[in-house]
Structure formats: C-alpha cells, structure tokens
Amino acid sequence: MTVIIKKQTKSAGLIRTIEKIAGVDLSVCYQCQKCSGGCPAVPHVQTTPSEIVRRLQLGAGDELLDSDLIWMCLSCKTCYARCPMGINVCAVMDALRALALEKDAARPDGDMPRFNREFLGTVRRFGRSYDIGMIMAYKLGTGKLMDDAEKFPAMLKKGKMALLPPSGTDRKTVKRIFAKTAPNKRTGK
C-alpha cells in the first residue's frame, strides 16, 4: 500500500495532542516493529501500529484518523508489552479513536462507536457483557436487523451466546466503576 504523508511541520500534526492524551513520548520509538509483529489486528488492517507511530513522528495530521487500525484495535496491549521502549501504543490507539470521534473522521463499515456504546451499556447494566442484549440494541439502532442473522442459531447451539443476561455479578461495584470513570469524556475511560 502506498502511504501519502502530507508535508507539514511537526507542530501542525497530531503528535503533540496524541502524546498528551495518551501520556507517551513517541520520539523514543526506533521502529523495531515488535508492536506490529505481535498485534493480532495486523492481518486484517492496512496500517500497522509501528506505521502509525512513524507517521505521527513524521508530522501526520487528521488524515491519520481514517486508519482502519483505530477501529480494529482490540486494546489487548500486546504492543505495549512488547515495546522495548515502553511506549503504550494501545493508549495511542485510544487517543486516536477519541480524536476520530471528535472530528467525525471516516470509519470502516459498521457503526463502531454505537457498538462500543451498546457493549458498555450492557456491562453497566448487568455487571458483565450480555451479547444478545448488545446485538439487539445495536441492530435496532442501525436498522440492520437481518445482517448476520443466519449465524445466530449456530452460535446458540455452540454455546457462544447465552439467552439470559448474566447473573451473580457484582453490579453495584461495576456501576461504581462507571460512575468514577465517566468524567473523562475525551478518552471514553
């Protein structure tokens, strides 16, 4: 893939904003690519974690917010664990995601922000994720009720989804965590 990096001064790019939100120093990255080597999202995206860091170093601006990895990142933190310089690349993805939302940047197919919202909604309500509740809310919101519907019986049969919401969870504690972490609207954490 050809990557076009617009010429601009470093101060005009996103690097300072991202460093501030993520609490990282991207200048220490020396492109060893260990982050990309362990990232489970890499086979499914066009832009790798190390490439995102490099483009930030080179002064990339808002065009970086269209990168598919921002929405495909699983927040698994493998990149962080593998980075010899201790750069929390996962936090960089979080910061880019927050900026992409703020600036209404392009997103891949599907409504990822809605999906994330509905997922967190079920965790807040039931103390754990409740897949069927989340999927129903997502489908009602997007109007795509029949998308992937054919997979549902097989998932039920294999026990991948429970019909009833989770029970026995510590809902009070989870609600308290949400209440405590909600004020940071910028990062969603």
List interacting residues with ligand SF4 (CB under 6 A). 29-35, 38-41, 49-50, 53, 73-79, 82-85, 87, 89-90, 93
CB of 98 to ligand SF4, least distance (A): 14
- Helices of type H across 28-111: 34-38, 49-57, 69-72, 78-82, 89-102
CB of 1 to ligand SF4, least distance (A): 17
Of 3 and 32, the one with the shorter C-beta distance to ligand SF4 is: 32
CA distances from 135 to 36, 58, 118, 128, 147 (A): 30, 40, 8, 14, 11
CB of 55 to ligand SF4, least distance (A): 12
Of 28 and 149, the one with the shorter C-beta distance to ligand SF4 is: 28
- Say if CB 144 and CB 136 are below 8 A apart: no
Q: Cα 105 to chain center, whole Å?
A: 14
Of 91 and 137, the one with the shorter C-beta distance to ligand SF4 is: 91
- Say if CB 14 and CB 103 are below 8 A apart: no
CB of 63 to ligand SF4, least distance (A): 19
Of 40 and 110, the one with the shorter C-beta distance to ligand SF4 is: 40
H or E segment to which residue 120 belongs = helix 112-126
Of 15 and 41, the one with the shorter C-beta distance to ligand SF4 is: 41
CB of 189 to ligand SF4, least distance (A): 14
